[in-house]
């Protein structure tokens, strides 16, 4: 007989950083997010393959997840916007992005 606590332990991934844990949880809200450290302790969460802003519910849930994890949102750079490039072969000018400190 398999014990439930052993199954649950194996299903929970281990993370080396808090940012990895946040990224994992944010991908549950809306797939395609990646978090990169821009400077020591300063991060960017970005949805690279989105071609529109996130829904208001997903955006609020993502912000709340970061705040609940002890992050501080940089309101000057954080935007839930999508702006395509005027040259179709070039990457978008802006994607939904959250900048924050941990």
At 6-36, the pLDDT tens digits run 545 555 566 678 899 999 999 999 999 999 9
The pLDDT of residue 40 is 93
**Domain extent listing, the chain:** 16-101
The pLDDT of residue 74 is 97
Could you tell me which CATH number the domain at 16-101 has? 3.30.980
pTM of the model: 0.80
Cα Rg of the chain (Å, integer)? 16
> Could you report the per-residue pLDDT of 36-75, keeping only the tens digit for each?
999 999 999 999 888 899 999 999 999 999 999 999 999 9
42-47 and 33-39 strand pairing: antiparallel
Q: How far apart are CA 31 and CA 47, in angstroms?
A: 8
Helix axes 18-29, 56-68, angle to 10 degrees: 160
The pLDDT of residue 1 is 46
25 Cβ neighbours under 8 A, 6+ residues apart: 65
Q: How far apart are CA 49 and CA 38, in angstroms?
A: 20
């Amino acid at each position: 007989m398999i014990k439930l606590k052993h199954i649950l332990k194996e299903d929970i991934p281990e993370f080396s950083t808090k940012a990895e844990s946040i990224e994992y949880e944010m991908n549950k809200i809306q797939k395609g997010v990646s978090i990169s450290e821009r400077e020591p302790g300063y991060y960017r969460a970005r949805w690279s393959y989105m071609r529109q802003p996130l829904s208001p519910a997903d955006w609020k849930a993502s912000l709340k997840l970061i705040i609940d994890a002890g992050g501080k949102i940089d309101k000057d750079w954080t935007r839930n916007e999508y702006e395509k490039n005027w040259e179709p072969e070039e990457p978008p000018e802006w994607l939904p992005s959250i900048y924050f400190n941990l």
